[in-house]
Amino acid sequence: MDLRNAKVLVTGATGGIGQVLAVGLAARGSDVVLTGRRADMLKPLAERLGGRAIPADLADREAIEELLDQAGEIDVLVANAALPATGLLADYSIGEIDRALDVNLRAPIVMAKLAGERMAARRRGHLVFISSLSGKAASGQASLYNATKFGMRGFALALREDMRPHNVGVSTVFPGVIRDAGMFADSGATLPRGVGTRSPRDVARATVRAIEKNLAEVDVAPLSLRLVTLVAGVAPNVSAAVQRRVGGDKTTEQLAKGQRHKR
């Protein structure tokens, strides 16, 4: 997929990582359409990048179809918007569970259906899902978040096969711990010793590479964290024990506390 002059819709563009994604895609020559809940941040960013702003709350089910109608024919969808959804399931209200599922999983699926149908008809397009390594490795006090991210991975891999005959690419980007912006940075949590981080620009570069090379999956994390994630896929009990041993459960508890107000 050539990003030059491509029309790209980025969700969650008012978040720290979303803003960097928008800047990175615009730098590749894309015509960006940005969406998010905070119009006060969204519109100045779109103006700076020569793009367009469409404020929307993806927890509002009726807003999704309206958003895509306003966006028009897009060449690339970057589904980046997400809620933290960390913490014990017992601490969530039913409404908070529904909101996390709607924003993190339902909205990307519905947007992929609506945008993907149009892309398939034109035989041109790419769908990108910004996920998390939490979609490959589970951790304590993140059951709801893990559920949405594991679900997104399965959905994207299957959809990639379904869209292949229509010349539409599907990619998933899996950031690990991202410094300076995003959910972890906003929470104020501290990492166990030896756990490395990556930057928002690394996520943007990985997203561009996934689109341009039509990659199924791209991890954005240091080698050590990618290896831990690989172990989690084949030996989840071992992974859970290692996380407890290095203090990962305390970090997740801090994440949940720092992100509670975003539910």
CB 154 within 8 A of CB 137: no
CB 137 within 8 A of CB 232: yes
As a whole number of angstroms, the distance between CA 98 and CA 249 comes to: 25
CB 119 within 8 A of CB 168: yes
Task: Kindly give the residue spans of alpha helices, DSSP state H, lying in 106-182.
Answer: 107-122, 143-163
Tokens of residue 72, six digits: 């028009």
> Catalytic: 145?
yes
As a whole number of angstroms, the distance between CA 97 and CA 180 comes to: 27
As a whole number of angstroms, the distance between CA 156 and CA 68 comes to: 19
Q: Which of 244, 235, 231, 227 is nearest to 140 (CA)?
A: 244
Task: Collect all residues with Cβ–Cβ distance below 8 Å to 70 and sequence separation of at least 6.
Answer: 54
Annotated catalytic residue, options 145, 150, 174, 184 = 145
Tokens of residue 122, six digits: 């034109």
Residue 62's identity, in one-letter code, is: E
CB burial of residue 63 (10 Å; 0-12, 13-18, 19+) = middle
As a whole number of angstroms, the distance between CA 232 and CA 245 comes to: 15
So which residues are the catalytic ones?
Answer: 145
